[in-house]
A = this chain, B = another copy of it.
Amino acid sequence: MPSPRRLRLGAFMRPVSIHTAAWRYPGAFPDANFNLDHLVRFARTLEAARFDAFFMADHQAVLNMPIQALKRSATTTSFDPLTLLPALAMVTERLGLIATASSTYNEPWHVARKFASLDHISQGRAGWNVVTSGNPNEAMNFGREEHWEHAARYRRAHEFIDVVKGLWDSWADDAFIRDVESGTYFDPDKMHVLDHKGEHFSVRGPLNVARPIQGHPVIVQAGASDDGRQLAAETAEVIFAAGGTIEIARAFYADVKARTEKAGRDPAHLLVLPGAFVIVGESEEEAREKRAILDSGVHYDSAVASLSVALGTDASVFDPDAPLPEDIPETNASKSGRERAIGLARRENLTVRQLAQRLGGYAGAAMAGTPARIADEMQEWLETGACDGFNLMFPYLPGGLDDFASKVIPELQRRGLHRTEYEGRTLRDNLGLPRPGNRFFPG
- Interfacial residues, chain A to chain B (CB-CB below 8 A): 21, 23-24, 30-31, 34, 36, 59-62, 67, 70-74, 76-80, 82-87, 89-91, 105-107, 109-110, 113-114, 116-118, 120-121, 137, 140-143, 171, 176, 178, 180, 183-188, 201-210, 297, 299
- Given contacts A34-B210, A62-B205, 18 further A-B pairs with CB under 8 A are A23-B180, A31-B176, A34-B176, A36-B120, A62-B206, A71-B186, A72-B183, A72-B185, A73-B185, A76-B208, A77-B210, A80-B114, A83-B118, A90-B91, A106-B110, A107-B142, A140-B203, A142-B203
Residues of B contacting A34 in the complex (Cβ-Cβ under 8 angstroms): 120, 176, 210
Q: Which 5 A-B pairs have the closest CB atoms?
A: A83-B117, A140-B204, A90-B90, A30-B178, A80-B117
Known: A183-B297, A297-B183. A203 touches B83 (CB 8 A): no
Q: Are A109 and B208 in contact (CB under 8 A)?
A: no
Chain B residues lying within 8 Å of A106, measured Cβ to Cβ, are 110
Cross-chain contact A74 with B183 (CB below 8 angstroms): no
- A209:B143 contact, CB within 8 angstroms: no
Interchain Cβ contacts under 8 Å between A and B, 21 examples: A23-B180, A24-B183, A30-B185, A31-B176, A59-B208, A60-B113, A62-B207, A71-B184, A72-B184, A76-B186, A76-B208, A77-B176, A77-B207, A77-B208, A82-B114, A86-B86, A90-B90, A106-B110, A107-B142, A143-B201, A183-B299
Q: Which residue in chain B gives the minimum CB-CB distance to A138?
A: B109
Q: Which residue of B lies closest to A193 (CB)?
A: B62
Complex CA–CA separation, A90 to B114 (angstroms): 18
Known: A36-B121, A62-B208, A141-B204. A188 touches B86 (CB 8 A): no
- Residues of chain B with a CB closer than 8 A to A77's CB: 171, 176, 207-210
| A291 CA to B117 CA, complexed, in Å | 32
**A40 CB to nearest chain B CB (Å):** 8
Chain B residue at minimum C-beta to C-beta distance from A137: B204
Q: Within 8 Å CB of A176, what residues of B?
A: 31, 34, 77
Q: How far is the CA of A36 from the CA of B210 in the complex (A)?
A: 13
Of the candidates B141, B186, B203, B205, which one forms a contact with A203 in the assembled complex, judged by CB atoms under 8 Å apart?
B141
Q: Which of B36, B60, B187, B201 contacts A71 (CB 8 A)?
A: B187
In the complex, the chain B residue whose C-beta lies closest to that of A186 is B71
Q: In the bound complex, how far is the Cα of B296 from the Cα of A192, in angstroms? A: 30
Q: Is the CB of A209 within 8 A of B90?
A: no
Q: How far is the CB of A103 from chain B (nearest CB, A)?
A: 14
Distance of A84 Cα from B210 Cα, bound (Å):
15
Residues of B within 8 A of A23 (CB): 178, 180, 185
- Tell me if B79 and A209 are in contact (CB < 8 A): yes
Contact A84 B117 (CB under 8 A): yes
Cβ-defined contact, B84 with A87, below 8 A: no
CB contact between A117 and one of B79, B121, B142 (< 8 Å): that residue: B79
Return chain B residues, CB-CB under 8 Å to A79.
Answer: 117, 120-121, 209
A200 to chain B, nearest CB (A): 8
* A180 & B140 in contact (Cβ 8 Å cutoff): no
Which residues does chain B contribute within 8 Å of A73, judged by CB atoms? 185
* B78 and A208 form a contact (CB under 8 A): yes
Evaluate contact between A185 and B74: CB separation under 8 angstroms.
yes
Cα distance A79–B184 when bound, in Å? Answer: 20
* Chain B residues whose C-beta falls within 8 Å of the C-beta of A117 in the assembled complex: 79-80, 83-84
The answer to whether B113 touches A80 (Cβ under 8 A) is yes
Report the minimal beta-carbon distance from A301 to chain B, rounded to whole angstroms.
10
B residues near A113, Cβ cutoff 8 Å: 60, 80, 83
For residue A86, which residues in chain B have a CB less than 8 angstroms away from its CB?
83-87
Residues of B with C-beta under 8 A to A84? 86, 117, 121
